[in-house]
Amino acid sequence: MLVNRFAVIKLWPHLKTAEDECTARLKVAAESIGVECIEVDSFARLLYPPHTQLTQQDVDFVLSLHYETPKRYDIFSFVALWNPLEFFYDWGYRRHANHLVTHDDFISCASTGADNHVKRLIATDPMREGPCFRLSHSLSKPVYEPTIGDQKLFYIGINWERVTKKPARFRDLLLLLDKTGQIRIHGPKQFLGVDVWEGYQSYVGPLPFDGVSVVREIHRAGISLVLSSIAHKESELMSSRLFESLAAGAVIICDENPFARRFFGDTLLYIDSSLPAGDAYAQVMGHVAWIKANPGEALDMARRSQEIFREEFMLDKQLQAIYSGLPARKEKLESLYKPASRDAITLLFLMPTFDPGVLERHIESYLAQKNVTVRPVFAMDSHDFELFRDKIEDCLNRLGVPYEVLCLKFVDRYPNGTMKQRRRLGAVISEALEQMEGLAYLCIAAPNEQLFSDHLCSLLRVLEDNESAVAATSYLLYRHQSDGTQFADQNDDADFYRWSSNRPIGFGRCLLRASAFRPDLGVALPYVDSLLLPLLVGAGRVVRSKRCTLILDIQDKFNIERSNVTAVDRERDVLADYLPEVFGHSPSERGVSVKQNGQPVHLAPASLSLQGMDSASRERLVVELAHSVPVPSSLKKFGFGLYRVWLKSRAR
């Protein structure tokens, strides 16, 4: 059932960006088809107090316009394929490419390069499909009658290369045009404290991101200069500039972007921007002279190009097509990860200490699960259950379904009831396994974890498709906060043979096939804590769902308590004794496994230092460390831009 409302993510609340203009136009288009568009942050929370967290009942979908963040919410999510492939390499390819596939579906803007990029990413994932719908950097109104206006060239841009001191893409061409008095240049006067258009006599000033002003000014000028970066041309991807100019009814002078040729043919005038600036300048001025000498033919070109725009690229039409096909599309995608089995999954919710907030989160995780039969079991400390029994049962009785409570001893206590010491989690789980009968599949949800609605069904589907596998894992998000700002970073590496306190394996990310448990598990299980999952998985085959369906808070007490390196090393010895063929004999002998050039490589202890890594590995390590610093994205981009300039200067 559709609620006729969708959300768009605003990533940079304190900056005015091109995405703001796109969002303004989406709101206008949505209103014209009787739908509401609202802005949210990257967690799908309202931007303004009380910052309400949206749910699947509040909106039909969330639309992400950028690859900067992964999906961080349990709502059907589209990501717009609006960025050239080169942009991913600029900011860290693997990290940001992986962000794309955390979303449920992809929206094309008819870019061959962008579409093929995501198709490569999901080529080996039977639970995903390439883009079905199209949504361009377009608009629905205003649309003006074709005109040649003041017969002036209109150009707008950020000229952001001045911020990084890189050569501007069209600097020489624009400087030549600037001297003619035939061009009006718009864009922000300052960007990150730099006067980006200083020295240009034809610079008019900024235009508001209101979805209207840019189109109006293009219409007034009458001729629009639409230039693409090399990255956009290689991906056959157009920016919003083309669509704004089409809506304005202007005569368009465009560079050789294959997208323009493919859809608009001879209704546009073309230049070769790869030529020396003087030659490109001559082509532009030649077209301007032709327009002035042949106003009737020029207007006919503008009319024909606008007719194509009205038929193919009007934003309200594209949005209406999405809404018309949305229920069927959701159903089809859901069928790709819907399991056939109705065997119950035992979902063991851990509560070492009673906390009403944790209990509510566990209940929410249980109620969210779809397309699967779940047996909810709440594992609580016996002492806490007796103290808070009425509150706990009151909450659980509201579920309206059968549930179980396991009263276990999470801590050893003195006779007066105060805590003596925390017990290892493996010892607690060992007792829980003895009490639970008829296990087919087991998922253990920690108190610092939240499961998305497609978590268990997608994991079960993977196990169904891989009968020899003992476990299936999902991708997950590490939640943390710094200076009041929340972050959630994707982790797609479920490596059971490595451990780090800020990159824990997680518990709930794994669905275990209970029949694969070794009968002698009891000789090792009580002696592990952080490395519980590696022991349960053992030497068996583990498969991945490639869906990011769980959030883990790495700053939660539950994770911090299991961050003792010495204790973890002792657990490794337990695993090495129990499964020497998998875990080796000692940490010093095992080394670690890393990825180089996309392939798993085992590093011996001597190569674990920076000196032991090759230059590419050191660079990747530096990039990952830089991305982990909790600072605003705009500052990161600025820093990476300066770094690339320095790197290129060294290479000369």
Query: So what's the pLDDT on residue 642?
Result: 56
539 or 574: which leads in pLDDT: 574
Query: So what's the pLDDT on residue 71?
Result: 97
Can you read off the two tokens belonging to residue 290? 């032709």
Number of neighbours of residue 250 by Cβ within 10 angstroms: 30
Which letter does DSSP use for residue 521 in this model?
G
Query: So what's the pLDDT on residue 627?
Result: 55
Rounded distance between C-alpha atoms, residue 515 and residue 612, angstroms: 43
Per-residue pLDDT, averaged over 327-343, amounts to 96
Length of the chain: 652
- Residue type for position 644: R
Reference 536, options 570, 565, 509; nearest CA is 509
pLDDT in tens, 229-279: 899 999 999 999 999 999 999 999 999 999 999 999 999 999 999 999 999
Rounded distance between C-alpha atoms, residue 92 and residue 98, angstroms: 10
* Mean pLDDT score across all residues of the chain: 89
Whether 280 contacts 175, CB under 8 Å: no
Whether 529 contacts 410, CB under 8 Å: no
Question: Whole-model pTM?
Answer: 0.86
Rounded distance between C-alpha atoms, residue 360 and residue 366, angstroms: 10
Highest mean pLDDT among 124-128, 160-164, 563-567: 124-128
Can you read off the two tokens belonging to residue 110? 């008819």
Whether 129 contacts 336, CB under 8 Å: yes
Please count the CA atoms within 13 angstroms of the CA of 607 that sit on its side-chain side. 14
Can you read off the two tokens belonging to residue 377? 């079991």
Whether 235 contacts 111, CB under 8 Å: yes
88 or 598: which leads in pLDDT: 88
CA distances to 429, 520, 566 from 525, in Å: 8, 9, 18
* Helix, strand, coil abundance in the chain, percent, nearest 5: 40, 20, 35
Residue 522 has pLDDT above 90, yes or no: yes
Secondary structure in 3-state letters for 573-607? HHHHHHCHHHHCCCHHHHCEEEEECCEEEEECHHH
Residue 608 has pLDDT above 50, yes or no: no
Query: So what's the pLDDT on residue 192?
Result: 75
Number of neighbours of residue 588 by Cβ within 10 angstroms: 9
Number of neighbours of residue 78 by Cβ within 10 angstroms: 24
Confidence of residue 616 (pLDDT cuts 50, 70, 90): very low
Enumerate the β-bridge partners of residue 603: 592
Query: So what's the pLDDT on residue 398?
Result: 87
In what helix (H) or strand (E) does residue 153 lie, and over which residues does it extend? strand 152-156
Query: So what's the pLDDT on residue 600?
Result: 39
In this structure, the dihedral spanned by the alpha carbons of residues 78, 80, 86 and 87, taken in order and rounded to 10 degrees, is: -90
In the chain, count of helices (H) and strands (E)?
Answer: 25, 27
Enumerate the β-bridge partners of residue 251: 223
Do you find a cis peptide bond into 131, omega within 30 degrees of 0?
no
Residue 602 has pLDDT above 70, yes or no: no
Residue 285 has pLDDT above 90, yes or no: yes
Tokens 């967290």 correspond to what residue? Answer: 53
Can you read off the two tokens belonging to residue 486? 């929340």
Confidence of residue 612 (pLDDT cuts 50, 70, 90): very low
| φ/ψ (deg, to 5) at 265 | 45, -130
Rg of the chain in Å (alpha carbons)? 29
Rounded distance between C-alpha atoms, residue 229 and residue 36, angstroms: 34
- Residue type for position 504: P
Per-residue pLDDT, averaged over 188-216, amounts to 86
